[in-house]
Amino acid sequence: MPASTMSAEELKARYSPEGLPPVSNPFLYAYRCIIKNLFYVIFGIGSILIVTASFPFIRLSSKSNEEFGIKARRFISHVFRVFLFFLSVLQGAKLKTENRAEYRNMHKKIIVANHPSILDFVYIMSMVPNATCIVSEHLAKTPLIAIVKYAYILNSTDFETVCRDCKKLIDQGCNVIIFPEGTRTPRHGRNVYKKGAVRIALYCGCDIQPIFIGGSDKYGLGKHDIIWSYNPVEQYLYDFKLLPEIKIAPYTELPAPIAAKRLIDEVENTIIDAALQYSAYHPLCKTLNNY
């Protein structure tokens, strides 16, 4: 259910910070809040600088729109790596993952993942150089439109157009990141997984690469979290697990509605199973983000 249609009681039930432990170190908590918000500002200003100062040179060195898109996405991936490196150095958030080479060498995949925070796509794009993301149309109304229109696919158009845009990029070797929940995971309860991601995979004829995003509670980066907030007891940990690839071949001969239903069920079960295993054993963090 969209947040705009929820009552105050429903919003509180899904997004309330109740249940979090008390702040363990007020000074460290304040520092982390400052770092988080500082990087929000840096991200916004940096996205505008990328377009105004860097993209013209990339355009001049590109012989075609296809080449420009590839170079632009790789450049953005590099910028995101630098951004996250400094965020880690200043102890705002840290990354743990294995199989870095598999991320770098990923091609022609629909990448799906759970969605605990606003930084999820930044981390994935930093690890997958040639990737784009389907993002909410509201980003087109923010200052980030300068970078959004070059790097991402907006879901403001009709679904058939989105499918064609995705197929065009996938045929060029690009990966498309889609969060099946459609919005960030609530703090309590779960979102329904939407079929858009698997319908696009079936349309494009490409396999699906699921990722589980574990780690510490991302309070402060979730939907409806207040700006001046952070995990009360520890640094943000992003623990990425690359899950077994889901092949679409067993579903291609089925009627489209049945194929989409069974495929999204497999996607959801794969991610939820990984989440349950992670919640049973997570020695690197004291808290957990919801899934």
Model confidence at 1, pLDDT cuts 50, 70, 90, reads: low
pLDDT above 80: residue 84: yes
Task: Over range 222-230, report the average pLDDT.
Answer: 94
First to last CA, the chain: 16
Q: What is the pLDDT of residues 26-80, one digit of tens each?
A: 999 999 999 999 999 998 888 778 777 888 888 888 888 788 888 888 998 999 9
pLDDT above 80: residue 229: yes
pLDDT at 99: 86
Q: What is the pLDDT of residues 236-285, one digit of tens each?
A: 999 999 999 999 999 999 999 999 999 999 999 999 999 999 999 999 99
Domain boundaries, the chain: 21-280
115 conformational bin, left if phi > 0, alpha if psi -120 to 50, beta if neither? beta
pLDDT at 149: 63
Task: Over range 233-237, report the average pLDDT.
Answer: 98
CB neighbour list of residue 47: distance below 8 Å, 6 or more residues apart: 143, 144, 146, 147
Model confidence at 140, pLDDT cuts 50, 70, 90, reads: low
DSSP string, the chain: --GGGS-HHHHHHHH--TTPPPPS-HHHHHHHHHHHHHHHHHHHHHHHHIIIIIHHHHHHT-SSHHHHHHHHHHHHHHHHHHHHHHHHHTTSEEEEES-HHHHHT--S-EEEE---STTHHHHHHHH-SSEEEEE-GGGGGSTTHHHHHHH-EETTS-HHHHHHHHHHHHHTT-EEEE-TTSSPPPSSS-PPPPTHHHHHHHHHT--EEEEEEESS--TTSSTT--SS---SSS-EEEEEEEPPPBPSGGGTTS-HHHHHHHHHHHHHHHHHHHHHHHHH--TT-SS----
pLDDT above 90: residue 187: yes
Distance CA 103, CA 242 (A): 9
Q: What is the pLDDT of residues 147-186, one digit of tens each?
A: 566 567 877 668 898 999 899 999 999 999 999 998 999 9
Question: Out of 3.40.1350, 3.30.1490, 3.40.1130, 3.40.50, which CATH number does the structure's domain 21-280 have?
Answer: 3.40.1130
Task: Over range 207-218, report the average pLDDT.
Answer: 98
pLDDT at 143: 53
pLDDT above 60: residue 142: no
Q: What is the pLDDT of residues 96-139, one digit of tens each?
A: 998 899 999 999 999 999 999 999 999 999 999 999 987 766 66
